[in-house]
Amino acid sequence: MAANDNLYGSKVGTYSSGGVITHTLFNTEFNAIANSFHATNGHNHDGTAGAGAPITTLFGDTISVGTGGTSNIALQFNTDSNDGQITWVRASDYFHFSDDIFIPSSENIYFRDTNLYINSSTDGQLDLVADTKIKLTAPSIDLSGSANLGLGSDGSSLAFGADSDVTLTHVHDSGLQLNTANKLYFGTTDHFIGRTSILGSGEFRISSTQDIHLDNNTLYIGEDNNNNSTVVFRGDTNDGSFSWFEDENYFRFADDIMLFSTKKLYFNDTAVYINSSTDGQLDIVSDVLIKTSGGLATTPVTLTGAGGALAVDITESQMFLNTGSGTTTLTMAAGADGQQMRITMEVAGNNATMSASDGNLVTSQASSITWDAVGESVDFVYSASLSKWLIVNVHGATLS
Residue 363: predicted pLDDT: 54
d(CA 8, CA 50): 6
Taking only the tens place, the pLDDT of each residue in 178-199 is 888 788 888 888 888 887 765 5
Whether 376 is in a domain gets the answer: no
Taking only the tens place, the pLDDT of each residue in 268-277 is 999 999 999 9
Percent of the chain residues past pLDDT 70, beyond the cut:
63
Our measurement of the distance from residue 201's CA atom to the centroid of its chain's CA atoms, rounded to an integer in Å, reads 20
Whether 13 is in a domain gets the answer: yes
Residue 367: which of 335, 391, 334, 389 has the closest Cα? 334
**Amino acid letter, 68:** G
Whether 176 is in a domain gets the answer: no
Q: What predicted TM-score, i.e. pTM, was given to this entire model? A: 0.43
**Amino acid letter, 141:** I
Residue 59: predicted pLDDT: 84
d(CA 51, CA 43): 4
Taking only the tens place, the pLDDT of each residue in 119-173 is 999 998 899 999 998 888 888 888 777 767 777 788 888 888 888 888 888 888 8
Residue 8: predicted pLDDT: 44
- Confidence check: pLDDT of 226 > 60: yes
- Do 87 and 73 touch, CB atoms closer than 8 A? yes
Residues in the chain: 400
Residue 340: predicted pLDDT: 41
113 band by pLDDT with thresholds 50, 70 and 90? very high
- Confidence check: pLDDT of 1 > 60: no
What does the CA dihedral 141, 142, 146, 152 come to, rounded to 10 degrees? Answer: 10
Phi-psi region of 74 (alpha: psi -120 to 50; beta: other; left: phi over 0): beta
209 band by pLDDT with thresholds 50, 70 and 90? confident
Taking only the tens place, the pLDDT of each residue in 277-333 is 999 888 888 888 777 665 544 555 555 555 555 555 555 445 555 544 444 455 555
Residue 213: predicted pLDDT: 85
Residue 323: predicted pLDDT: 47
Tell me what the pLDDT averaged over the chain comes to: 74
C-alpha pair distances (Å), 43 with each of 11, 32, 54, 357, 388: 17, 11, 10, 141, 152
Whether 228 is in a domain gets the answer: no
Whether 390 is in a domain gets the answer: no
d(CA 261, CA 266): 15
d(CA 321, CA 293): 10
- Confidence check: pLDDT of 219 > 70: yes
Whether 133 is in a domain gets the answer: no
Whether 32 is in a domain gets the answer: yes
What does the CA dihedral 259, 260, 262, 267 come to, rounded to 10 degrees? Answer: -20
Domain that holds residue 15: 1-57
201 band by pLDDT with thresholds 50, 70 and 90? low
Residue 230: which of 209, 246, 207 has the closest Cα? 246
Window from 71-80, 164-173, 347-356 with minimum mean pLDDT: 347-356
Whether 7 is in a domain gets the answer: yes
Residue 382: predicted pLDDT: 57
- Confidence check: pLDDT of 360 > 80: no
How many domains, in total, are found in the chain? 1
Residue 133: predicted pLDDT: 85
Mean pLDDT calculated for residue range 51-61: 77
DSSP character string of 337-360? T-PPP------SSS------SSS-
C-alpha pair distances (Å), 230 with each of 110, 198, 220, 252, 256: 60, 17, 12, 9, 16
Residue 264: predicted pLDDT: 95
